[in-house]
Structure 1
Amino acid sequence: MSQQEHQAHSLKQHWRDIFQQGLQHSQSRYHAEDFEIEMAFYGDLITHYQSQRALALAEVQKKLPQPLVKLWQRANLANYYTRSAATTQIPLLPIYRPQQKASLKHQLWWRSLRFKDEIYKDLMIRLNRHPQLHLKVLQHFLTESYLYLCNDHFMQAVHQRLQQRFAHSSEPAIVVAHSLGTVIAYNFLRANPQFAVQRLITLASPLPYQAMKKSFKQRVARPTSLLGDWYNFCADEDFFATQPLDRAPFNFQPQIINQTIHTFVDKPHEIIGYLQHPQVIRAITLE
């Protein structure tokens, strides 16, 4: 979900609503209002820096293999992760619904989506073997990711927003990050050992991809600001987050606690599937 689709207050409320739905249906003893929630909003920064690179997109597309461009466009991946942002209703995870026998139509729909996810999971694995090509794909289709990976000014501006949010808390924080946010959170905590973090929870993380290394300013190591556990959740359906954080250079001690969950087969990468999942809820609430 791109932050550009929200204002600061609406993005925070969106996450809060998803979190509350998960708390309620996982029968947690907590309510969202029991937590002091801070969010670093940088959607306006994306818009500002995006305008500076618009003229280069046509040249980038010319350099990409055309079969790859057509495949990516056919999948509509530019909008794949953002479709829930325009809706106010948050769908309930299948794990919370009563089990019912699926119709033949539903079974065919489910299998077709799983087949598509497997195809694009294979594409992401292949792109990981060619990090420069991966970066060009990101530059053309996923502006937010490319800006953070390749524009130091944008990265510094985003980190300044994070510093402002940490300044509001006097107690160790529980940091929850999703998708590109997991890369941002890791880099920020690695560079700022003065902040105390009780637990780090990463959702749908692309950190294992070779292309992400372009953003690392220091060698990969466990952030010294992290006082407790690091939980990493990836959905089995999510072709964008294809690997757990258990291989070098992320196989440090204490180990990252990797957990595989199930979200939505038609929108496996979106925050609506991760943040309301009962395993994620328990990791956040320390239950």
Structure 2
Amino acid sequence: MTRLVLVHGIAQQHKGPRTLLADWYPGLTDGVILAGAALEERDVTMAFYGDLFRPVGHRGLGEPELDASDVDEGLERDLLLAWWRAAAQMESRVPGPDTAARGRTPYLVQRALDALSHSAFFAGIGERMLISDARQVRRYFTEPDLRRAIQARFLAALTDRTEVVVAHSLGSVVAYEALCAHPQVPDLTLVTLGSPLAVRGLVLDRLLPPPRDGRGRWPAPVRGWTNIADRGDVVALAKDLAPVFGHRVTDVLVHNGARAHDVRPYLTARETGQAIASALRTPAAE
């Protein structure tokens, strides 16, 4: 019986639903316990779509070779530059972009990648992985068949007993769009973690359904929505969703430490546990 559905973000292509659930579940239960509730693993399902981004076999080792010259002129470039600007504002060790709006794409992107290598936020993420991460976001928004396949994975995880959806990063976009497109889904509570949904130009304006007069549509199946963000999360560039999606969104700030976008400190936060526990007040039926 699935009472809670988890939806992951980018860079999970080498994992699987059970592997990822095993990684998320301890943090999830820690947050719920802090809120004075409990959650059994049988009640939780991971809506997994990472394999849809997994590269086909090739002769090289690891990820395909990518460098600044491979970065798409559109969304991939714009994402990397936005992450650079945000990291430079938050961390003194990260050199700023200065006139980042001008210059050839490979040059600007290489500067961005070099600067981000000094960021605590992106510590341990190599150049190829940064490009790959931006590419996954671009592919979601520009490849309709892939977008539908990812949303289908999420919808397949829902049951008539699902009470809560917890969605991280790009997963919040997947859940939002799928719930908007399927108003017949039974009512549930949405909890978004490190969500980029309100980032204008990069995400908000690419949503389906598109925003109207700068305001996003409320997903019909959602009876309550809590959005949780770390002030230093450079992926969730717009921390508050209520100004875009309506006053029914409850925006909450947390502190996740250096790895502000990592899902695990989001899950262990008392605020996340409280949002989940309040939606699971009714005990599961035997």
The AA in structure 1 aligned to 2:23 is H
Distance in 2 between the 1:44 and 1:184 partners? 15
Over 3 Å counting, the alpha-carbon distance change for 1:140 and 1:39 in structure 2 is: closer
1:146-190 deviation line (CA, Å, top 9, x unaligned): 111111111011011112112xx2224311100111111111101
Distance in 2 between the 1:241 and 1:11 partners? 22
Q: Which residue of 2 aligns with 1:234?
A: 229
* Structure 2 residue 184 is the aligned partner of structure 1 residue 194: yes
Distance in 1 between the 2:39 and 2:107 partners? 49
Over 3 Å counting, the alpha-carbon distance change for 1:235 and 1:80 in structure 2 is: closer
Out of 23, 31, 36, the position equivalent to 1:28 is 36
Q: Which residue of 2 aligns with 1:272?
A: 264
The DSSP-based 3-state class of the residue aligned with 1:263 is coil
Q: Which residue of 1 aligns with 2:253?
A: 260
Distance in 2 between the 1:50 and 1:59 partners? 19
Question: Which structure: greater helix fraction?
Answer: 1
Q: Which residue of 2 aligns with 1:184?
A: 174
1:33-60 deviation line (CA, Å, top 9, x unaligned): 3x61111111110115899xx7997453
The AA in structure 1 aligned to 2:266 is Y
The DSSP-based 3-state class of the residue aligned with 2:264 is helix
* Structure 2 residue 54 is the aligned partner of structure 1 residue 47: yes
Q: Which residue of 2 aligns with 1:101?
A: none
Identity of aligned residues (%): 23
Residue 143 of structure 1 deviates from its aligned partner by 2.4
The DSSP-based 3-state class of the residue aligned with 2:233 is coil
Could you tell me which runs of 5 or more consecutive residues in structure 1 were left unpaired when the two chains were aligned: 85-137
TM-score, normalization by structure 2: 0.68
Over 3 Å counting, the alpha-carbon distance change for 1:20 and 1:245 in structure 2 is: same
Residue 23 of structure 1 deviates from its aligned partner by 3.3
Distance in 2 between the 1:237 and 1:143 partners? 22
Over 3 Å counting, the alpha-carbon distance change for 1:182 and 1:72 in structure 2 is: same
Q: Which residue of 1 aligns with 2:11?
A: 2
The DSSP-based 3-state class of the residue aligned with 1:161 is helix
Out of 57, 63, 71, the position equivalent to 1:60 is 71
Distance in 2 between the 1:81 and 1:43 partners? 20
1:99-150 deviation line (CA, Å, top 9, x unaligned): xxxxxxxxxxxxxxxxxxxxxxxxxxxxxxxxxxxxxxx8765222111111
* Structure 2 residue 213 is the aligned partner of structure 1 residue 222: no
Distance in 1 between the 2:163 and 2:150 partners? 18
The DSSP-based 3-state class of the residue aligned with 2:227 is strand
Out of 59, 69, 72, the position equivalent to 2:113 is 72
Q: Which residue of 1 aligns with 2:275?
A: 283
Over 3 Å counting, the alpha-carbon distance change for 1:27 and 1:258 in structure 2 is: closer
Q: Is the 8 A contact 1:61 1:140 kept in 2?
A: no
Distance in 2 between the 1:141 and 1:159 partners? 18
Could you tell me which runs of 5 or more consecutive residues in structure 2 were left unpaired when the two chains were aligned: 1-9, 59-63, 74-103, 282-286
The DSSP-based 3-state class of the residue aligned with 1:177 is strand
Distance in 1 between the 2:119 and 2:57 partners? 15
Distance in 2 between the 1:215 and 1:234 partners? 20
Count of equivalent residues: 223
The DSSP-based 3-state class of the residue aligned with 1:71 is helix
Q: Which residue of 1 aligns with 2:96?
A: none
Q: Is the 8 A contact 1:50 1:143 kept in 2?
A: no
Over 3 Å counting, the alpha-carbon distance change for 1:139 and 1:9 in structure 2 is: same
Over 3 Å counting, the alpha-carbon distance change for 1:239 and 1:197 in structure 2 is: same
Out of 239, 243, 250, the position equivalent to 1:247 is 243
* Structure 2 residue 157 is the aligned partner of structure 1 residue 150: no
